[in-house]
Structure formats: structure tokens, C-alpha cells
Amino acid sequence: MKKHLSSVIFMFAVLILWQMAAAGINAAYILPSPAGILVRLWELREPLFKVHLPSTMLVTGIGLAISIGLGLALAIVMDMNDHVQRMLYPIIIASQTIPTTAIAPLFVLWFGYSIWSRVLVTILMTFFPVTITVYDGFQSTSREMEDLMISMGAGKGEIFRRLKLPGALPYFFSAVKMAIPISIIGAAIGEWLGAQSGLGYFSKRMMTQLDGAGVFAPIVLLSVTAMIIVGIISAAERALLPWRREI
């Protein structure tokens, strides 16, 4: 805890300044105060926690699961086969140059306001960092260790299972920790562009009502949720990878 002390103090200082600035401007639709946002979060708790948070989490969960599955599969085939790697790698990079917000309305055309248009936005943003990070993890394992295993008579499958997979595990956790906030943002953008529920949609609705604190409340909820989930994953990582603790 001690090592986080300075950042906690800094955050409080920023919040206090913000609170004072908001009091000075005195126009909640331009700059709502932190206290005002918390009050609004409490007032809106029913729709936020019962309808919109679950809706966003559903999209995030499905999008994240598919992204991780897809990313892992792509990373594995690219690692196993150089031809596949040369074929896929540029396409995967190119997919990142597509402006998500521009193409998302097309997804709404395809899938309507069903969750799949939002899931697709989430996947489009998330699978890339997962794929690249896990692929880097596979590539990072030592060539010499591979040679050592070959000298012991190990085949390709054995090398993958006993060297590449455990060697890439730390990278996998990094990928997941990175992917969680990205997929939540992806889901929120998807909702913003076309949906009838979700925190992104709710934030947009509050904006049309010039409710500044109401715009911020779901955003605060989103980032707190992301932090909690990342915290859980970090704890799982520490439990599962004890050998990394003191390196």
C-alpha cells in the first residue's frame, strides 16, 4: 500500500482542485463537481446498476472472451508456421487502421440494435493487442532452451506445451489486463453509436439532457469496474505465477 501513497495523495489533490474549480464556475452542465457526480451516481443507482452496467458487462464479457480466444488461436498458428505468420501479420496490423467509430454504423446496419453490433466493435478493438502480445510471448522463449529440449528428444508438441506455453503465460496475463479496459471502452463506444441500453448509451442520453453529472456518473462506474476486474486478474496472476514474484 505504501508505494501507492503518493499517487493517492496526488489524486485527492486533483479532486479537491476540481471541486473548487467546479464551485467557481458554478455551471454543472459544463463542469460537474466530483461530489455532484457521486450524488448523481447514487440517485441513478437503480437504472445504472440494474440495467445499464449488466448490459455493458455482457457485451464486454462476450467481446473479451471471443477476442482472447481468437487472439490465442491466431498467435498459436502464427508461431507454428512462418508462412501463416507472413500472411496474417500484415492483415492484422491493417485491421487496426480501420477507424472503429466510422465503421461501427455499418455493424448496426448488419445486426440492428442487437448486442452483436456492439460485440463486434469490442472485438475489433481488443483482439489485436491480445494477438500481438501473446505472439510476442511465444517468440520470446529462448532458442537455446528449445535446442536443449530437442537434444532431450522433444518433438514440436512437447516444446509447445512445456516451453512456449508456460513461457508465454506472463505475456498472456499482460494481454488480458490490457484487453479489459479496451474491451470496456469498445463496448461503451458501441453503445454510444447505436444501442438502447448500456452505460455508453446512458451517458449519451444524459448529454442530450445537459446533465453534466449524469454524463460522468456512468463513466466513473465504468472505470471503477475496469479497475476492480484488472485487480482480480492481477491477484490471479500472482497466485498462478509464483516464480515471477521476486524477479
Residues making contact with other proteins (CB under 8 A): 142, 144-145, 147-154, 158, 162-163, 166-167, 169, 241-243, 246-247
Strand, coil or helix: what is 209?
A: coil
Nearest approach in angstroms of CB 77 to other proteins is 24
Strand, coil or helix: what is 172?
A: helix
Give the single-character DSSP code of 211. Answer: -
Judged by beta carbon, residue 94 or residue 247, the one nearer other proteins is 247
Provide the phi-psi class of 152: left if phi over 0, else alpha when psi is between -120 and 50, else beta. alpha
* The residue type at 79: D
Give the single-character DSSP code of 197. Answer: S
Nearest approach in angstroms of CB 234 to other proteins is 18
Judged by beta carbon, residue 166 or residue 231, the one nearer other proteins is 166
Judged by beta carbon, residue 64 or residue 163, the one nearer other proteins is 163
Judged by beta carbon, residue 92 or residue 149, the one nearer other proteins is 149
Judged by beta carbon, residue 136 or residue 146, the one nearer other proteins is 146
- The grid coordinates listed for 43 are 440517485
Judged by beta carbon, residue 62 or residue 175, the one nearer other proteins is 175
d(CA 106, CA 70): 22
* The residue type at 51: V
- The grid coordinates listed for 45 are 443507482
CB 145 within 8 A of CB 163: yes
Alpha-helical runs (H) found in the chain: 5-25, 34-43, 45-47, 53-80, 82-95, 100-111, 115-140, 143-151, 156-159, 165-193, 199-208, 212-240
